[in-house]
Copies of this chain bind each other. A is one copy, B any other.
Amino acid sequence: MSEYNPLPLVLAAEQFARLPGIGMKTAQRLAYHILTMPAGEVEMFAETLITARKTVRCCSVCRNFTEKETCAVCSDERRNQKLICVVEAPKDVTVIERTGGFDGVYHVLHGLLSPMEGTGPENIHIKELMERLAGEVDEVIMATNPTIEGEATASYISRLIKPMGIKVSRLAYGLPVGASLEFADDVTLVRAMENRNEI
């Protein structure tokens, strides 16, 4: 931004630009918008973000985001606790819940194996998944994204689980290869869930 812009405005734009998917032009536009908002609304916006970061933590069972010790899915007795769907991130839980086609529980890895980025098995919640499998579990559905890292992670985890005699399955390829689970439509996602294959 120009040297003629006040520093606090430049700093605000730089903060926005650090968010994922927000380029410098969009960041500047948002920073300008902040200045035109009523001061009370800016404070509410800021406080909402701080509150979200402070009060939301990971479920002690599945690692999904929750305000409580255990998340709403894990503490729901109507859910099949013997069917665990493994996903990369909390947003994937939202996407699958939206379909209403899954009655099991989740396990959120918070990442995928990626040697390129230095993410190994110890950096994502695989150990916690293994600990859950010591209990009574019928099946683990690997619902990581159909990308190289997603496939590699599903494959790695399935090799760990199979010797335990637990069924491991993978979402059916109704999903376009290389795409992101987040952008799949509900019907495709339900079908992929129904046609899951043992791996």
Contacts and interface: CB of A to CB of B under 8 A. Distances in A.
Contacts of A51: 8, 11-12
Given A89-B32, A94-B2, A39 B52 contact: no
Contacts of A22: 30
A97 interface: yes
Q: In the complex this chain forms, how many copies of it are found? A: 2
A49 B46 contact: yes
B65 A28 contact: no
B8 A90 contact: no
Given A2-B98, A94-B4, A19 B9 contact: no
Given A21-B26, A91-B29, A8 B56 contact: yes
Contacts of A30: 19-22
Interface of A: 1-9, 11-12, 15, 18-22, 25-26, 28-37, 39, 42-56, 64-67, 71-73, 89-91, 93-94, 97-98, 110, 182
22 contacts: A3-B72, A4-B71, A5-B65, A6-B65, A7-B67, A8-B55, A8-B67, A11-B52, A12-B52, A18-B45, A20-B29, A22-B30, A32-B89, A35-B53, A35-B56, A35-B65, A36-B110, A39-B54, A42-B50, A42-B53, A43-B50, A45-B49
